């Protein structure tokens, strides 16, 4: 018999480590490592870097205008939501590019919908900052 490895067996190397289910504290460490890897991957996206810049600019603007703790907290939560949606949008784009490298209506729609979700949160953040600074 040429190959007796089961079809659903995990491949060797890093992918096999990634598929192994950790328990307890090891699970927490593994999840933290995966999150850090995701953050570092997202740092490769110029849109995310612009959003990070906007976050720090917003914090500076809030400091200048004397924003309350609640306003800082709301802004931080809105920005974390934006970062999360940006990460999901990037994941969708990568999957579409991997699964369907040719131009397709379905792939374009998936990417457009992800982009729209990011846009909605950008608008929400912008409206909140404008309200906090000017009113």
Composition of the chain by helix, strand, coil, percent to 5: 80, 0, 20
Mean pLDDT within 73-85: 98
Evaluate if pTM is beyond 0.85: no
105-114 tens-digit pLDDT = 999 999 999 9
Q: Is 12 a catalytic residue?
A: no
Query: Which stretch of 53-57, 63-67, 99-103 has the lowest confidence by average pLDDT?
Result: 99-103
Q: What pLDDT sits at residue 82? A: 98
How many Cβ atoms are within 10 Å of 75's Cβ, its own excluded?
20
**What domains does the chain contain, in order, with CATH numbers?**
46-134 (1.10.287.3610)
Catalytic residue among 12, 22, 51, 86: 86
Closest by Cα among 131, 128, 134, 135 to 75: 128
15, pLDDT greater than 80: no
CA distance 75 to 58: 8
């Amino acid at each position: 018999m040429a190959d007796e490895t089961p079809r659903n067996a995990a491949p060797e190397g890093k992918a096999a480590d990634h598929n192994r289910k950790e328990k307890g504290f090891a699970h927490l460490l593994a999840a933290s490592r995966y999150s850090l890897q995701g953050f570092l991957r997202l740092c490769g996206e110029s849109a995310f870097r612009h959003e990070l810049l906007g976050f720090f600019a917003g914090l500076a603007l809030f400091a200048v205008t004397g924003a309350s703790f609640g306003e800082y907290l709301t802004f931080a939560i809105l920005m974390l939501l934006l970062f999360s949606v940006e990460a999901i949008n990037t994941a969708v784009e990568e999957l579409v590019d991997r699964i369907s490298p040719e131009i397709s209506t379905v792939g374009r729609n998936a990417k457009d919908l992800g982009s729209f979700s990011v846009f909605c949160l950008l608008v929400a953040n912008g409206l909140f900052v404008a309200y906090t600074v000017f009113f």
